[in-house]
Structure 1
Amino acid sequence: MAMNNASDATRVPPGQRLTNGFPVLHHGEVPYYRDMSKWDLRLFGLVEEEACITYNAFMKLPRRTFANDIHCVTTWSKLDNEWEGVAVAAVMAHVKPKPEAKYVMLHAEHGWTTNLPLADFLRDTSFFAIKHNGEILSPEHGYPVRMVVPHLYFWKSAKWLRGVEFMAADKPGFWERNGYNMYGDPWKEQRYDWD
């Protein structure tokens, strides 16, 4: 897809192409939830006290609208996304990381994981998404909750989120163990470690 104007070009990282669609990419099966009483979000690791937020409690957290562009490692970019979700700060009110916590591991269904520096997780632009462009997330896009970290490649925005582990040292998640870059900055084209 061609860019709409010159300002779009400044919003698209090197090696990316624009799409109006929302491609679905993942490894493994899509989880379908039938009993939300079994869903929770666990906050654990290097914290003063572990916390577990139930689905009902999570849905009562204050929500905000977020606008951003997203960039997939497979070279597509989607501009002007509007999301409804919960700010990281609202979730962090439930847990206090220990001073030595410098990284997080996002844990999702089926054992899927991805790593982030704590500073990136805590950015004002990072959030827990519930809706995309006015619609509840579909199962394929991460229902009921996905992380969104728009300044990194989109694999860092874990779908089907179930836990946030606070860690002292960085360690690779699923795709990072399989050759993806440990950080994933789209503006530096940090796609794969074999590049």
Structure 2
Amino acid sequence: MPTEEWEFTITTEAGREHRWDWAGLLSLPLQRFTTDLHCVTKWSKLGTVWEGVSLDDLFAEVESTADYALTHSYGGYITNLPLDDLLEGQAWIAVRYDDADLAPEHGGPARLLVPHLYLWKSAKWVRGIQLLHDDEPGFWESAGYHNYGDPWREHRYWGD
């Protein structure tokens, strides 16, 4: 997706929308960080280097009483997360990986990155977050993956 067509929206449970185009996203502070990634298929990649906008900055002016978030991607993919897992320095809209613009195969131009959870929670080609009072399962969660996805507890599938 060309960056001039990219747009990101946070929609509150009350229906209020907060929008950023590509220039608006990049006008926010970019953070550079190093983190480990874990995939449900039992591989990990240690010490990956990213740049992105903290969700704390995107949520700075969003008023909400929601407890959950449903992340939406271009192409229709969705994944659910507790809102608490997106805030306090735990999640970013990543735009660069390994000192280069984020490639399409890695979710570029922008992807959600929530490295403390399994990678399926870090939606590629992200376009928005919908805030909810009640949890709704996303694509993989509806197909039997664990609702939370903590790699340290090996939350791979329902029942884990």
**TM-score where L is the length of structure 1:** 0.78
Choose from 153, 160, 185 the match for 2:125. Answer: 160
Choose from 85, 89, 93 the match for 1:128. Answer: 93
Quote how far apart the aligned CAs of 1:80 are.
0.4
Quote how far apart the aligned CAs of 1:45 are.
3.2
* Paired letter, 2:117: L
Evaluate the alpha carbon distance shift between residue 160 and residue 64 of structure 1 in structure 2; reply closer, same or farther with a 3 A threshold: same
Aligned to 1:81: 48
3-state SS of 2:130 partner: strand
3-state SS of 1:158 partner: coil
3-state SS of 1:58 partner: helix
Give yes or no for contact 1:49–1:96 (8 Å, CA) kept in 2: no
3-state SS of 1:110 partner: coil
Give yes or no for contact 1:85–1:128 (8 Å, CA) kept in 2: yes
Aligned to 1:27: none
Structure 2's unaligned 5+ residue stretches are none
Aligned to 2:114: 149
Aligned to 1:23: none
Structure 1's unaligned 5+ residue stretches are 1-32
Quote how far apart the aligned CAs of 1:118 are.
0.6
Give me the whole-angstrom Cα distance separating, in 1, the residues matched to 2:158 and 2:15. 35
Quote how far apart the aligned CAs of 1:48 are.
7.3
Deviations 1:42-96 (A, max 9, x none): 1103157311111111121110111110100011100001111101111112422
Structure 1 runs of 4+ off > 2 angstroms? Answer: none
Which protein has the larger Cα radius of gyration, Structure 1 or Structure 2?
1
Choose from 127, 136, 147 the match for 1:182. Answer: 147
Aligned to 1:61: 28
Choose from 41, 63, 71 the match for 1:106. Answer: 71
Number of corresponding residues: 160
**TM-score where L is the length of structure 2:** 0.94
RMSD of equivalent CA atoms: 1.4
Give me the whole-angstrom Cα distance separating, in 2, the residues matched to 1:107 and 1:48. 15
Choose from 118, 136, 156 the match for 1:191. Answer: 156
3-state SS of 2:75 partner: helix
Give me the whole-angstrom Cα distance separating, in 2, the residues matched to 1:129 and 1:107. 15
3-state SS of 1:119 partner: helix
Quote how far apart the aligned CAs of 1:125 are.
2.5
